[in-house]
Structure 1
Amino acid sequence: MKIFKRILLVFILIIAILVYFNYSKLNIISGYASKYMASSINIGGHSSTYIIENDLAMPLIELTDTEFDTQERTAKASVYGLMTRKAVDRGGLGSVLVNNDYSEGEQYLQPRRNFKKIDKPYPYGHLPKKDTVFENVDYDLLQKAVTLPFSNEAIQKTRTLLVLYKGHLLHESYIDGFDKNTPILGWSMSKSVLATCFGVLQKKGRLKVDWPAPIAEWKDDERRNITLNHLLRMQSGLEWNEDYGGISDVTKMLFLDSDMTKAQLDKMAIAKPTEIWNYSSGTTNLLSGILRQQFRSHQEYLNFPYKSFIDKIGAHSMLIEADLKGNYVGSSYTWATTRDWARIGQLYLDNGKWNDEQLFDAEWIDYITTVTDLSNGTYGAHFWLNAEGKFPDVPKDLYSMNGFQGQYVFIIPSKDLVVVRTGLAEDPEFDINGFLSSLIIAIK
C-alpha cells in the first residue's frame, strides 16, 4: 500500500508540474479547439464527432474535451476541465472566441452580400460546367495524375481536388463527407484574398503600394519608413514570431486578442525594411486594419471584399471571419467551397478580368509574382512562388495561395491551369512536385 501511495504521489507531482509549466498554453489549446469546432460546424457543415475524430486529432489539441451546443450554435473546449474557452457564431462575420470584451446580445454589423446567380457555365457562372474535350489532353494520364493525391490516404490526407484548364472544369473529386458545396477553411490562403483587396483599391486609384503605411504610432520612429509594399512582401523589419508550437506572437493574436490588427502594429523594428524577410500573420492583420482605414464607415469596409470581387465572380460561399472588433482576420480565417477557391485562382489566371469587367489591373499579377528579396525565390507579395524551382518538375511561373495543413490554389499561367487541393497534410507528405508534374505531362 505504501508503494502504491508513493507511486500515486509521484504521478500527482508529475501532473502538477506539467500543469504548472503548461497552464498558460491551455488557453491557446482550448481556444483553438473551440474556435475550430464552432466554425467547422456553423460554416463547414460538419458534425462535432467528425471534427473531433479528424481535424482535432493532432498533438495537444487532441487533449481537449470539445462540445457543440446545437441550439446556441456555440462551442466549448477545455483540457482536463481546465481553461474552458467558448466560441460563438456571428452570422456573416463567422465564429469568434469569447473573452472579456465580448458582450452577449450585442448586435454586430454584417457584410451585405449579393448572391445573384450568374447565367454562365462554371467557373464563370453558376450553370453546369460546359462539357469540353481537349485534343491535347491525354485523359488516361490525367486520370492517373488526379488519383495520386488520394493514393495514400493515411499520409497525404487529401480531401478535395479540382482542376481548371483554359477556364473549363477538367476534373474534381471529393472524399466522403465533402462535395462541391462544402466550405473549406483556407487558413493562410486568406492572406492572398486580403492582398487582392489592395490590388482592387490600387486599380480604383485609392492607394499605391509604395505609399508609407498609414500608422500614426510609427510617425516618430524608424517604422515611419515602412511602406505598404514592405508589408505585402513580409519585409517590414518588424519583430514577429510565427511559431504555432507554443505561446508566440501568432498564437496569442489568433486565440487571445480582441483586435488582431494591433499585434504587429505594436512590435518594434529589429531591422530596416528589406533587410530581412519574416513571414508574419500579424502583418496581414495589420494590413486588414489599414484596409479598414480606407473607408468612411465600418459597413463599407465589411462590404468591400464581397462587393468588389468575391460576389462579382460568384464565389458566394466565401466567408471571411472577423475578430471581436469587426476586423477581417485576413491572415487565417477565410472559408469557401473548392469550386469557389478555384474561382479566385481563375480570376488571377485571367489577369484580373471577369466576364468583361477588369477587377484589378493585369500589372497587379506582375507585382505579386515578383520575387521578394531574401525569400529564396519562394515569395512575392502575399503569394508563394516557384521562381527558383523549388518544385523542379513544375513550370517556374507557378504561383500559389498556400494554407496550413496543405490548402493550395496553384496557378500556372504557361499551362492555363488552376489546381485546388485541400486536406490535412502539406508538402512533402502531399507531394506537390510529383502530383503537378504528372498532371502537366497529361496536357501536351
Structure 2
Amino acid sequence: MAQAQVAQAKENSYDYFLANRQLIRNGVQSLLTCNGLFTSRRNLDQVFEQELAYLGDRALGDASGGPYTVYPRERAVSVGGDEHGPAIISAFRKGIGCVVMTPEMSLSDINSLPKLEMPYSKTDPRTLNWPNGDANADMPIPAALNADALQAASDWAFDRPTEEQDTLSLLVIHKGKIIHERYAEGVDQTTRTRTWSTAKSIAATLIGMRVDSGKMTLDGPLDIDWAPKLPGGQDPRDAITLRHLLRMSSGLYPVDSFNMEYATGSGLSYWAGASSVDGARNRGLVREPGSFWDYENYDTLLAVKAFKNTFASDSAYREFPRKRLLDRIGMRNTLLSTDRFGDFILSSQVYTNARDLGRFGLLYLNNGMWDGEPLISEKWIEFSRTPAPASKPRGYDYGAQWWLVPDSRKKEVPADAYSTAGNRGQYVIIDPSHDLVIVRRGLDYGKQGFNRWDLLREVLKAFPE
C-alpha cells in the first residue's frame, strides 16, 4: 500500500469524536438514571436492569455501585469523572422531569434550571370516567371478537424470542374502551417511561393547534434566525418551510444520521447540556427542501423552535401543552421535558404511561374531537397521515411526524393505519378501520426488532374477517 494510502487509512481509523462520545455516554446514563429514579419512581436495580440495558457494556458500574452518585435530597444523579470523562449531572425539576446539565455545572446550579409550577386539578382521576379519568375504563371483550386470539396476541407481544425485546405494557382500546391491559412485573398504570420519538407526534399535535389557530402556516416563512448569519441578507435556508420540517425533508446537512447520533448533533442537547435550538439552527443546506427524506431530530426541534416563536412569553410557551392538550384529555401523568434553557426537547424527551398514550391515540382516532369539542382539526390529522413525497423510496411510510403502513405491508394490515414510533419500542397504533388504538411500551435494546405492524396483524386476528 502506498504511503499516502497508509496515512489515509490511519486517519480514517481514528475516532476524532471519542471525547464527545464519552461525554454523551455519561450524560445518557445520568439522565436515564435520574428519570428512572425520580420520574418513573423505579429503584436502582430496575434502572440498571432495564433502562440502562440500552447502554450494554458502556454502562458505568452496576446497581451496587460505580463511578456515579445519586443525590436523593436534590433528586439528582452524577455520572463519570476522572478517567471516565467529564461528570454529568441530571436533576429532576417539577413539572418537567430531569434536566441534564453541562460538565462545568454543579449541584449548586440546580435551582437555576427551569421548572413548571402549574397546579393540577384537585379532582381525583379515579373518580372521573375514562378517558378523562380512570373510572369505568374497561369493558368486556365483545362477543364478536375472539378472546383467545387477543390473549395470544398479548402473549406474542410479551413472550419475545429474545431478551432484547422487553415489553413493559400493552393496551388495546376498542370503541373507546380498554378491552385488554397488561403490564410486566414491576410496572403498573402509573409507571412513566420515556417516549423517545413518539414525542415527535405530540410535538406535531401542538404545532397543528397553532396552525389551526392561524398562528403558524405550513408553507410560510419559518422565522428562524439561522446560524451562522450569512452576509448580504440572503440565506438559502429561508426556503425551508414547516411542511418540510414535519416531513423530515428539510434538505439540511444530516447530523444525527450516519452513526453520529451519539457523537454530535442533537446528542449534545439530549445528553450533554447543549442548547436544543442552537445546534438545530447551525446546519447548511445540502439538498433542495422537500427532495430527500432524512430522519433528523433537529428537523423536529426546528419546528418546535418555530412553534415557540409564536408565543409572547416563555411562560405562555411552557404552559401551552398542559393547557391545550395534556390537561384537556386527562394526560396527567405526562411530563414534557426541556433543556436547561427551557426549550422543549419534543423530538424525544417526554415521560408518560400507557393510559396517557391511549388517550392521545383516542384523540386522533376520534378525528381530533374530545368531549364534543374539536381540539385538533381533521384537516391537520389528514395532513399528518398523508405520505411525504420524499418517502417514496421507502414505500411512502412517513407522513408528518407520524409513521404510515408501508406499501409492502398493505396486504397484511389496514392501509389507513398509522402510528407513532419511538426508540426502544414505543408505539401508539391507530387503526380507524377497526375503531382501534394499540399502545405498546418497551425497553428494547440491541437490534430492537419489535415490529408494530406485526403487532397490529396479531391483534387483528381477534377480529372477524
Normalising by structure 1, report the TM-score. 0.90
**More off after superposition, 97-106 vs 28-37:** 97-106
- What residue in structure 1 maps to residue 456 of structure 2? 436
- What residue in structure 2 maps to residue 346 of structure 1? 362
- The one-letter amino acid paired with 1:135 is A
- What residue in structure 2 maps to residue 410 of structure 1? 429
- Local SS of the residue matching 1:326: coil
The alignment status of 1:62 with 2:59, answered yes or no, reads yes
Distance 1:72 1:385 in 2: 43
Matched-pair contact (CA < 8 Å) for 2:39–2:92? no
- What residue in structure 2 maps to residue 186 of structure 1? 195
- What residue in structure 1 maps to residue 89 of structure 2? 86
Map 1:128-139 onto structure 2 (within 5 A).
128-139=136-147
Structure 1 position 52, deviation (Å): 1.5
Structure 1 position 181, deviation (Å): 0.8
- Local SS of the residue matching 1:169: strand
Matched-pair contact (CA < 8 Å) for 2:367–2:377? yes
Map 1:11-410 onto structure 2 (within 5 A).
22-57=18-53, 58-63=55-60, 65-78=67-80, 81-99=84-102, 100=104, 103-106=109-112, 108-110=114-116, 112-115=118-121, 117=123, 120-152=128-160, 154-217=163-226, 220-242=234-256, 243=259, 246-375=262-391, 376=394, 377-390=396-409, 392-410=411-429
Distance 2:317 2:311 in 1: 6
Distance 2:274 2:147 in 1: 51
- Local SS of the residue matching 1:96: strand
- 1:282-309 CA distance string (max 9 Å, x none): 1112222221111111110011011011
| Structure 2: segments with no counterpart, 5+ residues | 1-12, 62-66
Structure 1 position 362, deviation (Å): 0.8
In structure 2, the CA distance between the partners of 1:419 and 1:244, relative to structure 1 (3 Å rule), is farther
Structure 1 position 357, deviation (Å): 1.2
- 1:147-170 CA distance string (max 9 Å, x none): 111113624311111000110101
Distance 2:289 2:100 in 1: 34
In structure 2, the CA distance between the partners of 1:409 and 1:111, relative to structure 1 (3 Å rule), is farther
In structure 2, the CA distance between the partners of 1:256 and 1:339, relative to structure 1 (3 Å rule), is same
Structure 1 position 31, deviation (Å): 0.7
- The one-letter amino acid paired with 1:370 is T
**More off after superposition, 23-32 vs 212-221:** 212-221
Matched-pair contact (CA < 8 Å) for 1:97–1:255? yes
Structure 1 position 138, deviation (Å): 1.2
- The one-letter amino acid paired with 1:31 is G
Structure 1 position 258, deviation (Å): 3.2
Q: How many residues align?
A: 428
- The one-letter amino acid paired with 1:25 is R
- What residue in structure 2 maps to residue 3 of structure 1? none
Normalising by structure 2, report the TM-score. 0.86
Structure 1 position 430, deviation (Å): 2.0
Q: C-alpha root-mean-square deviation of aligned residues, in Å?
A: 2.4
- 1:310-349 CA distance string (max 9 Å, x none): 1100000010000011000001110111100111011000
Structure 1 position 256, deviation (Å): 2.8
Matched-pair contact (CA < 8 Å) for 2:421–2:427? yes
- The one-letter amino acid paired with 2:373 is E
In structure 2, the CA distance between the partners of 1:434 and 1:379, relative to structure 1 (3 Å rule), is closer
Distance 1:89 1:216 in 2: 31
**More off after superposition, 135-144 vs 121-130:** 121-130
Counting aligned pairs with the same residue, the percent is 29
In structure 2, the CA distance between the partners of 1:399 and 1:20, relative to structure 1 (3 Å rule), is closer
Distance 1:213 1:19 in 2: 36
In structure 2, the CA distance between the partners of 1:223 and 1:244, relative to structure 1 (3 Å rule), is closer
Distance 2:14 2:292 in 1: 37
Distance 1:382 1:269 in 2: 21
- The one-letter amino acid paired with 1:115 is S
- Local SS of the residue matching 2:56: coil
